[in-house]
Structure 1
Amino acid sequence: MATLSAKPGLRYNVSNWDTSNKQMSDTAEHWRHISHETRQDGLALRNETTSKTNLDESNSSHRLNDRIWDISRWKETLECCAQEVDKEMDALTVVKEETERALAATMMPLEVVVECLTLREGRRGNELVSDPVEAQLKKEVEVIDGAQRGLQQHIDKAFEQLCVLQEARQQLTHDLQNKIEAQDIDMSCFSLTIAAPEISLKPNPLHIPTGSTTPQQWEKFSQYNVARAREEIQASLQLREKMSVNRAQLQNELEAQRIATEFAIRKRTHRLEQARNETQWQLKSTQDEISDMERDIRGLENDLLAKMAPLKLVHTRLEKRTKRPGVELCRDEVQYALVEEAKQLEATILALKQKLAQAQHSLQALQLHQAHTGEDLSCKQDALSLEQRVMETRNRLTSGPFTDISSGVVVPLTNSSGRHNLEMA
């Protein structure tokens, strides 16, 4: 038989039991309602967040695609601009090398002109004159020297412009490399999906990297690089045109001066030939006159010698007649005739001696003048020979055009463009 508790537990009445049951039921229904609303809100939130997430991911992918297109557009622009810079650098390098060859080609004309001046220093006597030929040769030296300075200035400017273009090309290359790398990164990001194995959570993904720029700054940077490169291309184009025009002008100036110098040489040579021919005629005439004078002197000497016998005769007659005796020592007609004859012979001899002395003096003067004329003719012949050698020397100036180089090779600017090929992604 069961044993009853000594102390019965707390008991509830029926109304309290009913109230408790109803409260339990209401509470259950309340929490079920709250749970239902929570589930509905959760479902709506899931749907909304899923749609939002998908939309945001789609928008991000679309913006990535747009960004990739923007980078591709700028990359294409930078590539085209870099090719234009390369083309202009090649063209400027060609013009620079042509100018260097033109500068080298001026050395031979300068050597020829200096050699001509040196040759003409070999003239002697009164042929060593400061004539128009010397003036034209010195002017030719000045023209060549000015041409060399002008060409060297253009070469220096071309080198500086190549350096500027090289710098612009490097800036374009750097910008292009950065855009290639950025495009690769954005394309990699564009290809990622939620199923990609390499995605993961990152620490502090929302931080802004140091040195980041705005889209406006990004675009202005490339705009500046392209604008600067094209500005330098235009400057290089103008420089090339100026260099080509200047080379043509210098060639024309040198050619005009060469023609003027050679005209002066031909004119001087013609005058020298005339002077030489005149001197030769004068020398021959002097030689003929000397021969005639020598013949006349011999005639005077013979005549003078021939007068001595008649003089001795008259002197002897006069001396013998002084010995006549007494009144026979008469001053008769014979005496007067002999005295007159003696005086006449002495006067004749004196005149002949004076004329002989005068003839001998004239002969000496003619002989001295003959020597001077011969020396002058020798100087003129030497000067004419030098002028002919000058013309022969100057024939080298017409052996080739102004821009040719007679010998040697002009070394172009090493790696003048300084560019390197990029593998465009």
Structure 2
Amino acid sequence: MDIMDSIATTKYICMGHQPQQGSLSPSIYTFDNRRSPVYYQTAHVEPTQSLNISTAQRFSSTEYLNNMNSGMVPSIFLSARQTFDIRYTPKDWHNAQMTNYFASDKIRAASERLRSDTIVLAREKDKQAFKNNVESSKRLAKNINDIEYWENELKKNNDKMKHKINDIELKQREIERLLSGTEKPLHTAQKNLYEREKRQGIDLVHDNVEQELIREVKTIELSQQKLRQMLKRLNSQNALNLVSLHELEHDAEDKFHAHVLDSTALNIKTTSWDINFYESIENVDNTVSVPESWARYTQENIRRSLNQIGQSDELLNASNQLVATIYNDIWSQWNHVNISLENRLQEEQLAKNKIQAHLEKILQEISDVEQTIEYLKKTIADQEVFLQVAQTRLETRSRRPNIEACRDSAMHRLIQEVDDLHAAIDELHSKLCQEENAVQLLLRTKSILEQDLIIKNNSLFIDSEKVMSIRRKFMMDASEKSFVTSIPFSQPHDLITV
């Protein structure tokens, strides 16, 4: 039962003699000490009742009231008044007032201390909150500086990677043009070999020109194979560069979003209109990295990109050297073929000139021999006339009569003359036969020389018109430039006749 709503009852038990029966004074007697409820309502204090319901206070009224010296506050339940009357004495009234004053002072002092501590606590918390806000802003600003630093590093490496990808693409197009440009000299060399197969007779020889042309075809085919392999390496390297560029761009994009969000968070103030409560947001942990792993991730991306850039530089240098080497090899071999062809043309021209000189001599000799034959025939005819004269003389003298048919000196001389004429005519006929045989040999030699001259003219026509005419100017792109070179002849082309 609440003491504020009831009347306290005190029973006093006195030990003494037992009263006699019928006596008005019992040996054990009981009486009630009753007081007005107003008294207890005035003096009653509930120390468990908090003066401030805020849960953010450092001290409660209970602590202050419990710390009071309970001996200084007289208990209102142990009244010194021992009376059967429900009235109070002035002393009780004064004691009750003093008790109320004393309790009021204690409670007010406790409340003042509580209020002072509360104000101090509020100011400390406000100062701490401001300090925490400033520290958080500093951390956000530092994080933004770190993000800006890595953004700049990523941008620089991104630009380098884009330039390197562009350089490789340019080199690919250059090598593709060079590879396409090698088709023309290859086709030219193959066509030269095909045309030189049309040579005839003894001129169909495996000469130095043919050897150099075969070497030129092999050189160009080997160069094409090397260029195709380099194109494959450039394509593979460019694919790796694109992967690295994608990683850099993805990292830079994430850095940009983080930069925007951190800048937005840094600009949020206590006066911002869009601030709000987000219950238990501090317990949400969606992080996937720590500062060390965060920085290491970007460092690894930059390191890989720099590694790919270094490999790209090495490959570009190798491709430049390959292009220069291939161009020089093809160019050098092309010059070797032209020099060999020019020397061969000189040899063929010299052989043709010699054949023409010999043919002229043969023709002159044939003419001379034919004149000699005509002279021999005339001489034989003249000798036959003299033989007729001598024989006619002998026949005429053979008709001398009797003793006049004398073998005189005239007879001997005529007989000797006839014999000499027969011998001369036989010898002349022998010479005539030899001259006629010589004419046949000369005619056969003339035919051989004429045939050889035809072969030489055909070879000269092939080597000069079919081969050298398409090799005088050679064009092939190399390092974004066109090279046109003319090979001069040691002998003018208009002197080469067919």
Same-fold status (TM-score > 0.5): yes
Code of the residue aligned with 2:244 in structure 1: it is A
Deviations 1:199-234 (A, max 9, x none): 22235642332x701111110111111122222223
Q: 1:399–1:247: structure 2 CA closer, same or farther, 3 Å change rule?
A: closer
The structure having more radius of gyration, on CA atoms, is 2
Q: Is residue 2:293 matched to residue 1:227?
A: no
Deviations 1:308-356 (A, max 9, x none): 5555676777789889999998877677656555544443343333322
Q: Percent identity?
A: 25
Per the alignment, residue 197 of structure 1 pairs with 274
CA distance in 1, matches of 2:361, 2:304: 84
CA distance in 2, matches of 1:11, 1:310: 215
Q: Aligned runs of 1:278-297 on 2, under 5 Å?
A: 278-297=354-373
CA distance in 2, matches of 1:130, 1:121: 10
Q: 1:179–1:48: structure 2 CA closer, same or farther, 3 Å change rule?
A: same
Contact 1:101 1:404 in 2 (8 A): no
Q: Is residue 2:212 matched to residue 1:136?
A: yes
Per the alignment, residue 208 of structure 1 pairs with 285
Name whichever of 124-133 and 32-41 sits farther off.
32-41
Per the alignment, residue 15 of structure 1 pairs with 81
Per the alignment, residue 28 of structure 2 pairs with none
Q: Is the partner of 2:376 in helix, strand or coil?
A: helix
Per the alignment, residue 121 of structure 1 pairs with 197
Q: Aligned runs of 1:56-67 on 2, under 5 Å?
A: 56-67=132-143
Q: 1:402–1:32: structure 2 CA closer, same or farther, 3 Å change rule?
A: closer
Q: Aligned runs of 1:334-349 on 2, under 5 Å?
A: 340-349=416-425
Per the alignment, residue 152 of structure 2 pairs with 76
CA distance in 2, matches of 1:154, 1:352: 85
CA distance in 2, matches of 1:403, 1:358: 74
CA distance in 2, matches of 1:162, 1:77: 21
CA distance in 2, matches of 1:338, 1:346: 12
Q: Is the partner of 1:397 in helix, strand or coil?
A: strand
Q: Aligned runs of 1:224-263 on 2, under 5 Å?
A: 224-263=300-339
Name whichever of 211-220 and 340-349 sits farther off.
340-349
Per the alignment, residue 174 of structure 2 pairs with 98
Q: Is the partner of 2:213 in helix, strand or coil?
A: helix
Contact 2:366 2:443 in 1 (8 A): yes
Code of the residue aligned with 2:451 in structure 1: it is E
Contact 1:106 1:402 in 2 (8 A): no
Q: Aligned runs of 1:359-370 on 2, under 5 Å?
A: 359-370=435-446
Q: Is the partner of 2:166 in helix, strand or coil?
A: helix
CA distance in 2, matches of 1:326, 1:269: 87
- CA apart distance, 1:135: 2.8
Q: Is residue 2:433 matched to residue 1:357?
A: yes
**Structure (1 or 2) with the greater helix fraction:** 1
CA distance in 1, matches of 2:363, 2:480: 55
Contact 2:175 2:323 in 1 (8 A): yes
Q: Is residue 2:253 matched to residue 1:177?
A: yes
Code of the residue aligned with 1:294 in structure 2: it is E
Counterpart among 342, 346, 353 of residue 277 in structure 1: 353
Contact 1:251 1:402 in 2 (8 A): no
CA distance in 2, matches of 1:175, 1:11: 88
Q: 1:401–1:73: structure 2 CA closer, same or farther, 3 Å change rule?
A: closer
Task: Tell me the TM-score normalised to structure 2 length.
Answer: 0.68
Deviations 1:343-397 (A, max 9, x none): 4444334333332222222111110110110111122222223332233222221
Unaligned runs of 5+ in 1: 1-7, 407-425
Code of the residue aligned with 1:377 in structure 2: it is L
Contact 2:172 2:234 in 1 (8 A): yes
Code of the residue aligned with 2:274 in structure 1: it is P
CA distance in 1, matches of 2:335, 2:108: 118
Question: Larger relative CO (CA 8 A, sep 6+): 1 or 2?
Answer: 1
Q: 1:403–1:253: structure 2 CA closer, same or farther, 3 Å change rule?
A: farther
CA distance in 2, matches of 1:245, 1:321: 111
Contact 2:213 2:337 in 1 (8 A): yes
Contact 1:123 1:379 in 2 (8 A): yes
Code of the residue aligned with 2:213 in structure 1: it is L
Code of the residue aligned with 2:81 in structure 1: it is S
Contact 2:476 2:482 in 1 (8 A): no
- CA apart distance, 1:104: 3.0
- CA apart distance, 1:168: 1.5
Name whichever of 351-360 and 27-36 sits farther off.
27-36
- CA apart distance, 1:139: 3.1
Code of the residue aligned with 1:148 in structure 2: it is Q
Task: Tell me the TM-score normalised to structure 1 length.
Answer: 0.78
- CA apart distance, 1:56: 2.2
CA distance in 2, matches of 1:159, 1:393: 35
Counterpart among 209, 217, 236 of residue 160 in structure 1: 236
C-alpha RMSD of matched pairs (Å): 3.8
